[in-house]
Amino acid sequence: MQTESLPVELRYWPIKRYRDIYKKSLDDIEEFWGQEARKLEWFRTWDKVLDWDLPFAKWFPGGMLNASYLCVDRHVKTWRRNKVAIYWEGEKGEERTLSYSQLYREVNRLAFALQKLGVKDGDRVAIYLPMIPELAIAMLATARIGAIHTVVFSGFSSIALADRINDTEAKVLITADGGFRRGKIIRLKELVDTALESTPSLEKVIIVKRTGQEIGMKEGRDLWYHEIIRDAETNVPPLPIESTHPLYILYTSGTTGKPKGIVHSTGGYLVYINSIYKWVFDIQEESVYWCTADVGWVTGHSSIVYAPLMHGASIVIHEGAPDYPKPDRWWEIIEKYKVTIFYTSPTAIRMFMRYGEEWPKKHDLESLTILGSVGESINPEAWMWYFKKIGGERCPIVDTWWQTETGGVMISPAPGIGLVPLKPGSATLPLPGIDAEVVDENGRPTSTGVRGYLIIKKPWPGMLMTLYRDPERYKQAYWSRFPNAFYTGDYCMMDEDEYFWLLGRADEVLKIAGHRMGTMELESAIVSHPAVAEAAVIGKPHEIKGETIVVFAILKQGYSPSEELKKDLTGHLRKIVGPVATPEQIYFVSKLPKTRSGKIMRRVLKALVSDKPIGDLTTLEDKASVEEAKRAYEEFKRIMTQ
Ligand code: ATP
Ligand code: MG
């Protein structure tokens, strides 16, 4: 924890203000969230703040509101009508800018067209689009008429798409002819056609013309987006929606297993993200907010579409890969649009560290005020690099811990209400209203510095309502492990200042000779070696020790694999973590198996080195990573048996 290298002013921001607000919020959560809810515009006030029938929460029942009204109509009534809502940057450098009034018009036209197609309140609409403005428009149009969207990341296969359409029984799909990635056309419509061979619920497909290549159109089913909105009316009244009506269904990333269909409410979810984006990102109407996640993940739902638009900020949407055509693509975009809040993942930061600081140095990044990180724990090295090279030692880093299930950030510094001293690698403290705790197997709070399970002891408005059509699994997965508490599935530790340190997935823990070690601790130690850019650590079953440590490491530019380096890494790990952390094997690879959202799929590596079936791979980003790991492992086995 390299706090000593932080500039003084970042170390001494006041903590008292946070503590006061936090304590008060938990004294009476209904009072607290009731106050927060008043910050939105409701068509009808709720009858009650919370109806809590553990584990089922109804937030603001009886209250009526509309997400698209809050994100668009509200601004159109003010000066913001002519301000930029969306800056879109295409992969080939194309630009599109939509003001709030233009966004209003587009949302209304599509809402009208959807209604004409017979989409009604409660119907499910699947969205499978590249990162183009129509993605946000489709979500808002669906919400406007009370339908429920399920966004499927456009990098997913036809099987993953069909699964999600079938699980939600979606009636309409909004997609595109294709998208661009690294200069190539991704033929989305072909994937759609394959998926729709096995989706009985689906009636209509709406296709945005993005790439313009020839595609097949199925008579009676397929419709061009631009044709159906051509004569559409631009004034569809936003339907008042009851607070507990689902806003969307979204599947988790699948890092630990088969994705789960998370259902989010309208009122609770919107109240929650409205408040936390103020606290965590200090978002203002003059902010230019850029979250680099895909809208296909919860980060994109909350951080690209709903929260920044509710706040009347300008958002940046970028289509394409982060390092294409050059490794300064992102820094160029920040400079171009004068981005003030930038939100990305540790995996992206580590990738840019590998490219070197000369790339961000080419650009003026002075507009930045706050930097965010999400998706995995950020190792202190990456934190410091981000802080210095991107934030110019000026911008606080908000390391935000949350999940698809939580709807919004739960543990994070909150500069919008008073920034606490930062510690690189720690998500710091829970947000107001979030009763987080770290407990042992038996649900008792762990002592300082002892790893345990992260749980949430009180309901919060952003929480999932259930798993789609599977309330039993919802109960089982989240509310049965510890009594009266939400189980996050993550390992965590609290330090002497009660700061939270996330230590990876609880089901990815290693059990070595009686010691239980989180993957995160070991990976962070390996990555602190100057030669290593990224690493995955897994436990391989072992007859005597229980498990042994196996490391897959990607080296930084300028380093090459050698037996000597392996020895050096082993020594490094033993020195930092202790002698018990002696790896049995270290493999050097050029890629790690990751989910499409950029998280390491340790379960895949674990299955591989344990000679077990690899399991669900629908969310795997790049099959070549598994092939490479497999080759490295096979080669090792061959040498060992010679
Ligand atoms: P699945 O539940 O299907 O395995 P997933 O957990 O990867 O998928 P998400 O909901 O996208 O799906 O990810 C949430 C998880 O990401 C958290 O539970 C945590 O493990 C990790 N995470 C997110 N943000 C942070 C952070 N700031 N620090 C540490 N871990 C984080
Ligand atoms: Mg999860």
**Least trusted range by pLDDT, from 333-347, 365-379, 482-496, 592-606:** 592-606
| Ligand 1 atom nearest residue 298's Cα | 11
Task: Please indicate whether residue 64 or residue 513 has the higher confidence score (pLDDT).
Answer: 64
Over residues 226-238, the mean pLDDT reads: 95
- How far apart CA 202 and CA 170 sit, in angstroms, is 6
The DSSP call for residue 72 is I
- What dihedral do alpha carbons 503, 509, 512, 513 form, nearest 10°? 100
Structure confidence at residue 6 as a pLDDT band (50, 70, 90) = low
Checking if the pLDDT of 12 tops 90, the result is no
Q: What is the pLDDT of residue 1?
A: 41
Task: Please indicate whether residue 590 or residue 1 has the higher confidence score (pLDDT).
Answer: 590
Q: What is the pTM of this model?
A: 0.93
Average pLDDT over the chain, rounded to an integer: 94
Structure confidence at residue 13 as a pLDDT band (50, 70, 90) = low
Dist. CA 607 → ligand 2 center (Å):
19
pLDDT digits (tens, 9 = 90+) for 393-433: 999 999 999 999 999 999 999 999 888 889 999 999 999 99
Q: Domains in the chain, start-ordered, CATH in brackets?
A: 3-99+247-493 (3.40.50.12780), 508-641 (3.30.300.30)
Checking if the pLDDT of 207 tops 80, the result is yes
Q: Quick one: CA dihedral 145, 148, 152, 153, positive or negative?
A: positive
Q: What is the pLDDT of residue 419?
A: 84
Where residue 418 falls (left for φ over 0; alpha for ψ -120 to 50; beta otherwise) is left
| Ligand 1 atom nearest residue 427's Cα | 27
CA distances 202 to 111, 118, 218, 262, Å, are 18, 13, 13, 21
Structure confidence at residue 8 as a pLDDT band (50, 70, 90) = very low
Structure confidence at residue 16 as a pLDDT band (50, 70, 90) = confident
Helix (H, G, I), strand (E, B) or coil at 406: helix
Which of 151, 249, 252 gets mutated to test ligand 1 (max ligand atoms within 8 A of its CB)?
Answer: 252
Checking if the pLDDT of 240 tops 70, the result is yes
Judged by its nearest atom, the ligand closest to the C-alpha of residue 409 is 1
Which residues are in the CB-under-5-Å shell of ion ligand 2?
252
Checking if the pLDDT of 641 tops 80, the result is no
Judged by its nearest atom, the ligand closest to the C-alpha of residue 262 is 1
Q: What is the pLDDT of residue 198?
A: 95
pLDDT digits (tens, 9 = 90+) for 490-521: 999 999 999 999 998 988 888 888 888 888 88
**Least trusted range by pLDDT, from 294-303, 449-458, 510-519:** 510-519
pLDDT digits (tens, 9 = 90+) for 89-117: 999 899 999 999 999 999 999 999 999 99
Q: Which amino acid is at 230?
A: R
Instruction: Give the closest residue (by CA) to ligand 1 atom 19.
Output: 376
Instruction: Give the closest residue (by CA) to ligand 1 atom 13.
Output: 403
Judged by its nearest atom, the ligand closest to the C-alpha of residue 524 is 1
pLDDT digits (tens, 9 = 90+) for 301-311: 999 999 999 99
Q: DSSP assignment of 495-558, as one string?
A: -TT--EEEEEEGGG-EEETTEEE-HHHHHHHHHTSTTEEEEEEEEEEETTTEEEEEEEEEEPTT
Checking if the pLDDT of 371 tops 90, the result is yes
Q: Which amino acid is at 615?
A: G
| Ligand 1 atom nearest residue 488's Cα | 18
Task: Please indicate whether residue 204 or residue 576 has the higher confidence score (pLDDT).
Answer: 204
Checking if the pLDDT of 18 tops 60, the result is yes
Structure confidence at residue 79 as a pLDDT band (50, 70, 90) = very high
| Ligand 1 atom nearest residue 259's Cα | 3
Q: What is the pLDDT of residue 515?
A: 82
Dist. CA 403 → ligand 2 center (Å):
6
Q: What is the pLDDT of residue 442?
A: 96
Q: What is the pLDDT of residue 180?
A: 93
Task: Please indicate whether residue 5 or residue 71 has the higher confidence score (pLDDT).
Answer: 71
Contacts of 638 (CB under 8 A, 6+ apart): none
Structure confidence at residue 29 as a pLDDT band (50, 70, 90) = very high
58-69 burial: b if 16+ Cβ within 10 Å, else e: bbbbebbbbbbb
Dist. CA 315 → ligand 1 center (Å):
24
Dist. CA 168 → ligand 2 center (Å):
19
Which of 299, 404, 478, 618 gets mutated to test ligand 1 (max ligand atoms within 8 A of its CB)?
Answer: 404
- Percent of the chain scoring above 70 in pLDDT: 98
Tokens linked to 474: 């919802």
Structure confidence at residue 635 as a pLDDT band (50, 70, 90) = confident
pLDDT digits (tens, 9 = 90+) for 534-574: 999 999 988 888 899 999 999 998 999 999 999 999 999 99
Let me know the angle formed at the C-alpha of 640 by 634 and 642, rounded to the nearest 5 degrees.
Answer: 105
CB 270 within 8 A of CB 127: no
Contacts of 190 (CB under 8 A, 6+ apart): 215
Let me know the angle formed at the C-alpha of 147 by 145 and 150, rounded to the nearest 5 degrees.
Answer: 135
Q: Locate tokens 């038996």: which residue?
A: 442
Checking if the pLDDT of 23 tops 60, the result is yes
Ligand 1 pocket (Cβ < 6 Å) reads 252-257, 259-260, 297, 374-377, 399-404, 427, 488-490, 502, 505, 597, 599
Checking if the pLDDT of 529 tops 90, the result is yes
- Percent of the chain scoring above 90 in pLDDT: 81
Checking if the pLDDT of 271 tops 90, the result is yes
Dist. CA 503 → ligand 1 center (Å):
11
